[in-house]
Structure 1
Amino acid sequence: MTHQQILDKLSSKYLVKSIDEDVARLTYYAMCFEKDHNSQFEYIFPKLMLRWNCVLNADKNTVTDHYRLITILALCIHLHKYGFADKDLTAEALKAIDKLNEAVVLSDDFFRKSEEIKKIISSLPVPLKRKPSIPENITFYREKDVVSIQLGNRFYAAYIHRLTGVNESPVIEFYNGVFDKVPTIQELEKLNAKGRVYNDGTERISHFSVSGMKFLPDLANQIKLISACVEQKPPHQHLEKSVGLYIVMDIFKLQDEIKSIFKT
């Protein structure tokens, strides 16, 4: 049985696709910058889980138990597919298989193949010999959308100014605010834009072209649409002129950017 055959049994096409694109993207960059397999995993796993913990740690009113269990299993299978494994995640995935079967969530075929699936995800993964391809940059977000991005227990808001190419990467600008929950558009109307602070201490207008910011709604529960067709942009007259049109990065490098901008 292949990894893809197992994933097909999860009956969650777009969840599987979203996780696959995330792991492929991270694995590509890890293999570009790190030659040691352990170092690659240390690059991939924290970034992956910071994003997908928005599902795993969400309350039951936001994410169902069954969706959480399928997500755990899909994360484990995809890591194994790309040559990696985490002991704790694998243990949770093995439990998830039993819980999904007990609740009769998936098919009879999944039930019959459960022991074989357990053996596969418990086996030593085989590292890739070459980098995977980077997923195509497509987005379902639109110009003038306002979104919330979650990192840990904090929420950050951003305005989408435009899209690059033909519905490719959104170009976003952050509002100067950190929240304990998804903010309302009324809360954001009072806020200025937040920019990068450069080495000379100057804070400049900062736009970011973010690849991997694709599905709406976001299957990882990390990005949420606050409002669409918002004409009022975050004011940035208090900021110095930008350096270039925008800074190119992906959804995972954006994690580090947020931490740097907001000093979290």
Structure 2
Amino acid sequence: MLPSGSDLGRRLHDYGPGLVAAVAFAGADIFTKLALAAGTDVLTIATVRSLLGVGLTAAWIALGRAPVPLTATERGVASAVGVLYAGIIFCVFKAIELLTVPMAILTYFSYPLVTGIAAALLGVEKLGWRGLAAAAVAFAGLALTIGANPGDVSLAGIAYALAGAACRVAVLLVSRVWLLRADARLSTWYSGLVTTALFCVASLVLQHFVPPVGPVGWLWVVLIGVTTTTGVAVLFVSTTRIGPFLTALTMNLEPLLATVLSALFLGELFTPVQALGAAVMIASLFAFQLRR
């Protein structure tokens, strides 16, 4: 039975922001690969993306309702998270540079599994046998995807993707403990300031700036900043509408969308065995998060 117009409208209202976030981040993955092909490099993209992100976050705060100020502890934690965000951005961009987009993002998306396991070990949440089984199957799917054509896979790229996932795990655990009640816009603002400062200082100290070739290359770089900041903003909206659990489930669409978009616009294709491994991992991600 098809949903009525009112039901469909309500579902779009509830789940629309999460879907937009998944599309935005998948688009950013593709734009990153295109920007790198246009002659720029990871540090330059990260620096410009962070500067644009700070400006767009300021507009996001100004246009919304007045935020509740963060406590001194929350500001300090958000600033520390900015260091981890810098690690995520740099490592994921490097992974995309060294791997195909689907391989980089699928490997990075091991972070929900590692977060769940780490949270259980730290006593933050419980993890039963169903969760462990789903995690084991998901890691098996990832191993199948990576190992199907080992000669074509950059081990450094895999390492960067896993390092980005590790930073993401730390962000999620820290935020869950110390930033649960903080306004996401302000925590994003403070962490973004630190992330931007780190990349700007690195660029100045290394005297490193590699602009893309031509206006189209600059377009890709700007779109990276717009899509990533948009993704963060609508994730905040999604969390307030349907909660963090359903939002996390919706975000599992990102690796699937990145795979489809990379096939359409970059010509990056999985072999049948790799596609099977990717399908197993994505399905297991849903099962892992539905265990609760």
**How high is the TM-score relative to the length of structure 1?**
0.29
Higher RCO structure (Cα 8 Å, ≥6 apart): 2
Larger Rg: 1
Q: Which has the higher helix share?
A: 2
